[in-house]
Amino acid sequence: MNSCIVGLQWGDEGKGKVIDILAEKSDIVVRYNGGANAGHTVVIAGDKFALHLLPSGSVRPNIFCVITNAVVIDADCILQEIDALAQKGITLKNRFLISENAHVVLDYHKKEDQLREDSLGKNKIGTTIRGIGPCYADKAGRSHAIRMADFRNLEQLKDKLQAIVEYKNKVFTALYNAEPVNADEIFEKCKFYADKLLPFVTDTTEFLHKSIAAGKSILFEGAQGSLLDLDHGTFPYVTSSNSSALGMSVGSGVPAKMVDKFIGIAKAYTTRVGAGPFPTEQENEIGQYIRDKGHEYGTTTGRPRRCGWFDAVAVSYTVTIGAIDAIALMHLDTLAGLKEIKLCRAYKIDGKETTFFPANIDRLSKATPIYETVPGWDKDITEVNDFYDLPANAQNFICLIEEMVKIPVTIIGVGPKRTQTIFR
């Protein structure tokens, strides 16, 4: 049984916990998109692990972890995470692989990310400044790309870096009036990365197909959320990878046909970090209530997240493009204490009602949400472990979501711990 987990909103849906729960039943966990911009928090026996690049399965000693071709590798970040696990006695030896085709994020990518964002002023995207966009741009441009396989030939890498850095420095100094970067320093770092990471580097596509043929069970873990997908999200306020379920196959070399189940993760409300349209946003005391109660501050950047009501138009869209089979609805406990709860069931755009999400932001910016309002509940639900022990209003809220998005909600999160999860 192979499954894939993807966020159905703008990221931060609580994928880490669900992945961790499902990883226990898998042999291999695969990260297939994005880079150190992601932030998964996994809590095990009171220990909190904030992972940016390593697959969430890495915290479980018997799970094999794979980072595939479409992930951009921040070697400093991976090495820090490997060290942090080692400090808790968890080793990745003999159970971790990185694709030789994965591209590498270097210092000049982070610098470029920062300079470009600063130069955009009020039009900035609000990136995580992890160098993600510039690294994927170099991948698409090809001639300035560095991949993990390049660490195998350091002499050639040195020459390549000289040429790339020369070009980058022209841009940094002439266009942004910024300090140049030093090619030798970057090369020295690469030598260190090569030494530490090459033992893990291989053809992960071959490994995954052989594993599938051998009957292994694989869990594909998507980073970010479907609405941040470069091609199908709210462009340009997106990330630079395919973060919807559609990215799984190109990102790993394994066709979607070989995946038995796609599970979408959504919060019982909506959040977004960075800029871009957000029809159900609540820039008021409701938004603040959700932010405070749900601890809605970024794992990667610490930024306060924008908060709003559950948007069934947006989630139905990401369910549709991803052929999602079931939903894990997280953070239901956060809504406790609200007198009324709203769910957006349609948009009005230019006087016309629609239930199909317009990813094009010119149209999305004009969308006025049409809400269904339901009564809330007061009871703390963080200890509930059976759907039928939830307050009737909470049960109704979930049933209404199922009616709107037309697939079942099979997992419900009622708190950050693994044990605070209801299965239906």
Residues forming the active site: 12, 40
Query: Interaction with ligand IMP in 350-409: which residues (CB under 6 A)?
Result: none
Contact 152, 142 (CB under 8 A): no
Map residue 283 onto helix, strand or coil: coil
Give the nearer residue to ligand IMP in terms of CB position, either 58 or 127: 127
Q: Which stretch binds ligand IMP (CB under 6 A): 79-87, 99-107, 233-241, 246-254?
A: 233-241
E strands in 15-129 = 28-31, 40-44, 47-51, 64-67, 72-73, 96-99, 103-104
Give the nearer residue to ligand IMP in terms of CB position, either 10 or 193: 10
Give the nearer residue to ligand IMP in terms of CB position, either 39 or 287: 39
Could you give the CA distance from residue 63 to residue 111 in angstroms, rounded to a whole number? 35
To ligand IMP, the closest distance from the beta carbon of 234 in angstroms equals: 9
Contact 77, 40 (CB under 8 A): no
Could you give the CA distance from residue 44 to residue 76 in angstroms, rounded to a whole number? 24
To ligand IMP, the closest distance from the beta carbon of 140 in angstroms equals: 14
Is residue 130 at the binding interface for ligand IMP, with CB under 6 A as the rule?
yes
Between the alpha carbon of residue 343 and those of residues 112, 292, 391, the distances in Å are 39, 20, 18
Is residue 233 at the binding interface for ligand IMP, with CB under 6 A as the rule?
no
- How big is the site for ligand IMP, counted in residues (CB under 6 A)? 21
Q: Which stretch binds ligand IMP (CB under 6 A): 95-103, 234-242, 279-287, 319-327?
A: 234-242
Contact 347, 295 (CB under 8 A): no
Contact 74, 105 (CB under 8 A): yes
Q: Which of 2, 41, 68, 128 binds ligand IMP (CB under 6 A)?
A: 128
Per the omega criterion (within 30 degrees of 0), is the bond before 236 cis?
A: yes
Map residue 178 onto helix, strand or coil: coil
User: What mask of x and - would describe binding to ligand IMP in positions 33 to 52, judged by CB under 6 A?
Assistant: ----xxx-------------
Query: Interaction with ligand IMP in 98-127: which residues (CB under 6 A)?
Result: 125-127
From the number of C-beta atoms within 10 Å of its C-beta (0-12, 13-18, 19+), residue 142 rates as exposed
Q: How many Cα atoms within 13 Å fall on the side-chain side of residue 224?
A: 30
Could you give the CA distance from residue 39 to residue 74 in angstroms, rounded to a whole number? 13
To ligand IMP, the closest distance from the beta carbon of 156 in angstroms equals: 29
Is residue 240 at the binding interface for ligand IMP, with CB under 6 A as the rule?
yes
To ligand IMP, the closest distance from the beta carbon of 240 in angstroms equals: 6
To ligand IMP, the closest distance from the beta carbon of 13 in angstroms equals: 9
- Position with the least CB separation from ligand IMP: 274
Is residue 5 at the binding interface for ligand IMP, with CB under 6 A as the rule?
no
Interface ranges with ligand IMP (CB under 6 A): 10-12, 37-39, 125-128, 130, 132-133, 223-224, 228, 237, 239-240, 273-274
